[in-house]
Every structure is written in C-alpha cells, then in structure tokens.
Amino acid sequence: MSATPLSQQARAAAPYMEGLNPEQRAAVEALDGPVLVLAGAGTGKTRVLTTRLAHILATGRARPWEILCVTFTNKAAREMKERVGAIIGAAVEGLPWLGTFHAIAAQILRRHAELAGLKSSFTILDTDDQLRLVRQVIQAEGIDEKRWTPRYLAALIDGWKNRGLTPEKLPEDAKWAFADGRGGKLYALYQQRLADLNACDFGDLLLHNITIFQKDAGVLAEYQRKFRYMLVDEYQDTNVAQYLWLRLLAQGTNNLCCVGDDDQSIYGWRGAEVDNILRFERDFPGAQVIRLERNYRSTGHILGAASGLIAANRERLGKTLWTEAEGGEKVQVRGLWDGEAEARFVAQEIESWVSRGRKYRDVAVLVRAAWQMRAFEDRFLMLGLPYKVIGGPRFFERAEIRDAHAYFRLVLSPDDDLAFERVVNTPKRGVGETTVRKLHEAARAAGASLAETARMLVETDEIRGPARAGLKAFLRDIDHWGSLAGSMRHDELAGLVLDESGYTGMWRADKSPQAEGRLDNLKELVRSMGEFDTLEAYLEHVALVSDLDTASDGDEVSLMTLHAAKGLEFPLVFLPGWEETVFPSQRALDDKGAAALEEERRLAYVGLTRARERAMISFTANRMIYGRWQAVIPSRFIDELPPAHAEAKSETGYFSHGGAAGVGEPAAEPYQASYDSPGWRRFQAARAAGRTGDVIDGRAREVSSVAGSGRWKPGDRVFHDKFGYGRVKSAEGSKLTVAFDKAGEKKVIDSFVRETP
DNA sequence: TGGGGGCACCTTTTT
DNA sequence: GGTGCCCCCA
C-alpha cells in the first residue's frame, strides 16, 4: 500500500474537518494573509467560521487570547463560543476577544480610557440618554428645537461617528447640515458634555478606539502584536468606523479573515457600507477571495427564484449558488383583496400545513415593517393560532427598566446627572420642571453635578416648599443605598431600592392595564440581576445587549421583520405585503433612491433564502396604511422572479380575473393562474395603464390615494370585499352612499373599488 | 405641578 | 389606527 499523502494524514487527524466541502475547507485552511470568504445564504458560513477558529487553535498557530473574533450580535457571539467549545472541547472562557464590535471596543477603551479623556469607569449611554443630552446642548445654544430637532442632530452625529469623524475631522460642508452651520459646534459641545459626564455613546466606543490607536503608536502596536489572527463575521454590514478599526489592527500580522455576503447587506440605513466588502481586494492587497456557493438550505426553486431576483442588482460581486436539492415546489405568488384577506389566507395555509403533521415552529411570517404584524396578530389571536413576535418592544428599552437602571446608576455614582434627572421626580416628589431647571443653571455655574448642587441648594432658600422636602428625601435615600452597596447582595439591594424609592409602589397604585406587566418586568429584572457578580457587571452587560434571552422552544409561528430574520431559516416562509410603497418601501426610495432599491431587493433576497421547502409571497390590491386606504400595485420584485421558479396562483379571482387592481367577477371555481395566464396579463396591463382602482376612505376628510373626488356618479357599479356588488346612490364630497345588491340596504362603507368597465 | 385633551407623527434597528 | 408629545387649564 502506498503511503498516505501528508495532507490527508493531517486531515484525518482533524475530525472537525469531517464533512466540509472543498470550498469550505479552503476557507478554513487559508491562514496566511487577508482572506475574504464570500458566503452565500445557507452555505455553511458559521460552520466555516467556527471550524477555522478551532483549526487555528488545534494547529497551535495561536493561543485563544491571541485571536480577535468579531460579530455584530451577542447572539452570534454566543453561538460561536458554544460551537467552538463543542469542537475543541476546551474552556471557551479562554477566548476573551470573541464578541461584538462594541463589546470588544468597550473592553479596549476601559483599559486606555484616559487616552480618550475618560475615566475607566465611564458609563455607556443608550439612545434615550443620548437624545436628552443632545436636546440639552441645543437648548443651551438657544436654538429653536422645533425647527432643528434633537432627533435629527442625534442622527447626524451618529452618522458622523459611523464614518469615523470626530468634531475636529468633520468636513466644513457637513457642519452646514444643521442649524445654519452650527452642526460642528454642537457636535463638539455634545462631546464635551459626554466627557464632563464621564460617559460615551455607542458610536464613541469605536471612535475613541480609533483615536487612541492613531494617537498612540505604542498602544496600537500592542494590539497588533496581540491579535495574531482576526476573524470578522457579517463583513457586509460593517461601517466606515469599524473598517478603519479593523484596518488599523490588521496592519500587524495581516491575518484578517472576513466572512460576508454582499447580497445580504441590509443595514445601509444604519451606516453599513456595502462598499467595504466590494472593495476588499483593493483595501487588502494580496487578498484571497473564496466563494462558498453550495447551498444546503433551500430547494432548487426557492434558490432559483432568489438568485433570479438578486441578479437585477448592479452593485454586487456575483455568486452562483447551487444545490443538490433540485426541484421542490415553485415559489407561490398570491394576489389578495386587502390586509385582512391576506392574514386570513396566511392563517389558513398555516392551519393546513399543521393539519398535515407539520409544526407551527417550522413557519415564519416575514414583514417589511412592524406595523404589518398587527393584521396577522389579530387573525392569529382570533383563531388561537400560537405565534410569537420576534424582536418586539425591547426589554431594556422599556420605561420601567430604564427607570430602574437610573436608580442603580445613582447608587453607584450619585453624580450621574442623566440618571439623576431621569428619576428625581419619578415617582412624583414635587420636584418639577422649574426646580430641575434651577438645579441645571446652578450646576452649570458651579461646575458641579446635579446631586452636589441639590445638596447645596436644599440648605438655602433657593428651593422651598414641597420641592425642597422631596429633594432632601431623595438625596438621603441615595446616600443610604450607596452605604449599603458594599455589604448587601446587589440583587437584594436592587429590590430594596425599587421599594424604598416608592417606584414599585407607584406602579402598584397605577390602575392602567399595563401596570401589572411593568411590575412583572421589574420582578424579572431583579431576578436576572442575580446572574451577575456585581451591579457594575450587570450594568455593563445591559449597556451592550439589546434584549433578554427569550429562547422559547414552544411550538409557535414566528412573526418578525425581514431584518430580524437574517441568519434564521424555516421550512415554510410567508412573505406578505409585496406591494409598491410597502416593499420596496417608498420611504427608503425617497431617501436614497437607486441604492435603496438595491438594498430593498437584497432584503427580498434575504426573505426568500430563509425558506427551506416552501416560500409564499403575497400582495394586496388595497392596503390600509396609518388609517388611510391606499390602492396599491404589486411590487416590482414580483415581476423580477423568474417564471421558471415562481408561479402566480389565485383562488379568490381578484387578480387573476381582475381588470383593475383585481376588481372583477369572483372566480366561480378556484382558479389556477400561471405567469402568462390571461388574468395575470390583464392585471399587468391594468397596472401599466395606471388603472389601479379607486379607493375611498369613508371617514376621511378627503379622498385618498388615486381616487379623484367627484369621479363617482350615481349608478356606478362597485364591488366591496365584504358587501359584494352594489350601486352608488349618491356621491357628495367624500361620503358615498351605496346600495348593495345582496343586502339591499344603504350604507356608508369604509372602502371599495370602482369597477372598471 | 400634574392631568387631560388635542394634534402631529409614523421604516427597517445587530450595539 | 395608535401613540407620544405639547399645551392649556385647574
């Protein structure tokens, strides 16, 4: 027997390599120099990433603390830790530099805070605190905050930070984006306020890192030496600041491996630059590019439909995904009357799926915007169909949780002005706006914190009456809790603070229906604190994590936005609301034009590629948006689906028989339309001619959408989803009176469509 | 100071 | 349609 080649021996010695395809193996073994792994949807990206990490460790190329591994979400970081741990069987605690961009940047910043003008105990502000601070800066400058809103400035500052721009580096023209050229000054003032508070916002974590690295060559060199291998997940979603940060660090060993998919870049509106991934080979000369193109997730038709769709994008590197699971079901496209009909349809399909022995948990409904969820929730609740909303209101962003955190922050540092301001009058202590303004002014004059200032003023006659008593009690409480901090378990202390402050009492006295839920949340909060060693550790955690783990493994349908669905997969996926203005979102198109359209298309691509076995797209003719009826036309993305992989079906007859926006005789029998059916062609023709139906909101003051007021004449024949056929009796202003054939009664209705002759 | 009524607003949201 | 916010009044 001939000797086994060495390479094969090495592979045999590495069981974790078992089952990898050649591309995946190449991505794991390309260890020298920059590497870009273009990993299409469902091609085993996480597997490659974790195996690569294990491989680096197993071959002794680096020790655990010499690897930097960055993800975007805590969930991804956690999953990675678990999977690496499972492969190498070692204590994954030994991977201290595996985490999110922000967590790692915070870790580095705490070590060198003084180089950024902070103390290492700095607090990390959330968006709410950030907004309040921006408002204060605007007010202090005497700028009209109606005309120039804090929200807008906060968004600008965020954008600048995402692009790695400190106030000093801000280009002249950028300053003109706010308050007649005062944008730059306000930005600088905001940064000064942050420094005074020993605080930073999310954007600062990376920005300060970059500043430190650029200012102090010694510190940079330390990290460049330390990180012998660098791995980055979801590279297509990095922003300029993250790119700069990575590039600075990578200049040491140059062993940077980025994994991503340009076709799944969907966070451009948050500052992500697809350009980073498109430019990789130029940014990192000598880079290897490895494509993972074998898809293990979806059927051939689903993959074909998704690939056909994404091919319409110009800005992409290009991949050809393939699968051995050829065939399967074509992607189905359904036209429906309105959102209610769509929800009925989806629910019915789910029930029939389950009646065939499948699970609710195998199903996901993916919407473009959160408001679309309501119609589905209503229907699911009515039917008792089990579902869960993923990524709903965030636990740590709820008012009661943030109030509680403010109390905890005060216990640790009474000089935390933002926390002080937040809860000084919650519950009511008679300390109103006037008193707080007085404190602010005095604090500014004295260069002291609000708490310090309050201590002084309550001893004078500046503050009198209930405000004085309230403040005194508040300060006394803070001191009292602070003195307990050393000697008590922090979760017990937390419960005590919430009780003694009267905060839980406030909610107990509240008779509104939400109050009970808020009390539950507070209880859950105190419970979850027990999982941390100290109050400080807990607060650091919540600052960098957006939500509690709500890992429920119940048998429930998942309802979420397309954004929230990235990284997930389901046997059956519903993609409702594929209508122009909804998806692609008109708002996005208005803001950013062609680039936004490509991003919307990528979002559609992400949606489709979540499906393993079956994908169902639907659209409606009438959509209620913000209480307004709108006539809508099918999304252009539907036209871009290759007919070889998608088919249009209709059982309602709305669009298959439709003249305009699906108005017409309901089909006598379930009607199966294909892509070139007469009904589909009529529908397209009506759409091309702009005849999309006239829609009236019976209660609105004016006729909405394409409907022209006064275009209705007595005798017009109309069709309504609920009431069937009818004739217009009178049309005065926006009020229409219609007699329906079936019911034979006159009635003003919410919406209907005029039949096209 | 605080509550109630009127009114503008309204995408997506990894940290 | 629903909600958060502002203003006005008690």
DSSP assignment string, A56-93 = HHHTTSS-GGGEEEEESSHHHHHHHHHHHHHHH-S-GG
What nucleotide is nearest A135 when CA is compared to C1'?
Answer: C5
- With cut-offs at 50, 70 and 90, classify the pLDDT of residue A678: very low
Catalytic residues of A: 45-46, 233-234, 264, 610
The per-residue pLDDT for range A345-354, each reduced to its tens digit, is: 898 899 899 9
CB of A697 closer than 8 Å to CB of A734: yes
Is residue A752 pLDDT above 50, yes or no?
Answer: no
Is residue A110 pLDDT above 80, yes or no?
Answer: yes
What nucleotide is nearest A146 when CA is compared to C1'?
Answer: C6
Pull the structure tokens for residue A259.
């994994």
Residue with tokens 């009020």: A735
Separation between the CA of A751 and the C1’ of C6 (whole angstroms): 33
Report the pLDDT value the prediction gives residue A688, as an integer from 0 to 100.
58
In this complex, the answer to whether residue A269 has its CB under 7 A from any atom of chain B, a nucleic strand, is yes
Query: Who contacts A242 (Cβ-Cβ below 8 Å, separation ≥6)?
Result: A101, A206
Instruction: Work out whether strand A363-367 and strand A557-561 pair parallel, antiparallel, or are unpaired.
Output: parallel
Pull the structure tokens for residue A52.
């690569």
Is residue A338 pLDDT above 80, yes or no?
Answer: no
Which is nearest to A46 in space by CA: A9, A83, A2? A83
Separation between the CA of A372 and the C1’ of C2 (whole angstroms): 13
Q: Residue A497 and residue A97: Cα distance in Å, rounded?
A: 35
Q: Residue A272 and residue A268: Cα distance in Å, rounded?
A: 4
The per-residue pLDDT for range A640-674, each reduced to its tens digit, is: 898 889 987 654 433 332 333 333 333 333 323 33
In this complex, the answer to whether residue A511 has its CB under 7 A from any atom of chain C, a nucleic strand, is no
Residue with tokens 């940047």: A105
Which class for A217: exposed (0-12), middle (13-18), buried (19 or more C-beta within 10 A)?
A: exposed
Which residue would you say has higher pLDDT here, A545 or A407? A407
Is residue A751 pLDDT above 80, yes or no?
Answer: no
Residue with tokens 């085993």: A44
Q: Residue A308 and residue A299: Cα distance in Å, rounded?
A: 14
Torsional class of A284: left (φ above 0), alpha (ψ -120 to 50), beta (otherwise) = beta
In this complex, the answer to whether residue A353 has its CB under 7 A from any atom of chain B, a nucleic strand, is no
Sequence letter at residue A333: V
Report the pLDDT value the prediction gives residue A681, as an integer from 0 to 100.
53
The per-residue pLDDT for range A514-533, each reduced to its tens digit, is: 777 788 888 888 988 988 89
In this complex, the answer to whether residue A626 has its CB under 7 A from any atom of chain B, a nucleic strand, is yes
What nucleotide is nearest A145 when CA is compared to C1'?
Answer: C6
Residue nearest to nucleotide B13 (CA to C1'): A270
- With cut-offs at 50, 70 and 90, classify the pLDDT of residue A508: confident
Instruction: Work out whether strand A735-740 and strand A746-747 pair parallel, antiparallel, or are unpaired.
Output: antiparallel
Separation between the CA of A146 and the C1’ of B8 (whole angstroms): 12
Pull the structure tokens for residue A232.
């980055």
The per-residue pLDDT for range A238-253, each reduced to its tens digit, is: 999 999 999 999 998 9
In this complex, the answer to whether residue A551 has its CB under 7 A from any atom of chain C, a nucleic strand, is no
Query: Who contacts A587 (Cβ-Cβ below 8 Å, separation ≥6)?
Result: none
In this complex, the answer to whether residue A707 has its CB under 7 A from any atom of chain B, a nucleic strand, is no
The per-residue pLDDT for range A253-299, each reduced to its tens digit, is: 999 999 999 999 999 888 898 899 999 999 999 999 999 999 999 99
Which residue would you say has higher pLDDT here, A650 or A218? A218
- With cut-offs at 50, 70 and 90, classify the pLDDT of residue A626: confident
User: Lowest mean pLDDT: which of A167-181, A449-463, A551-565, A657-671?
Assistant: A657-671
Report the pLDDT value the prediction gives residue A249, as an integer from 0 to 100.
96
- With cut-offs at 50, 70 and 90, classify the pLDDT of residue A745: very low
Report the pLDDT value the prediction gives residue A269, as an integer from 0 to 100.
86
pTM of the predicted model, to two decimals? 0.82
Sequence letter at residue A563: H
Which residue would you say has higher pLDDT here, A399 or A29? A29
Task: Measure Cα distances from A578 to A279, A338, A555 in Å.
Answer: 32, 12, 27
- With cut-offs at 50, 70 and 90, classify the pLDDT of residue A28: very high
Q: Residue A707 and residue A685: Cα distance in Å, rounded?
A: 19
User: Lowest mean pLDDT: which of A260-264, A591-595, A614-618?
Assistant: A591-595
Average pLDDT over residues A496-514: 84
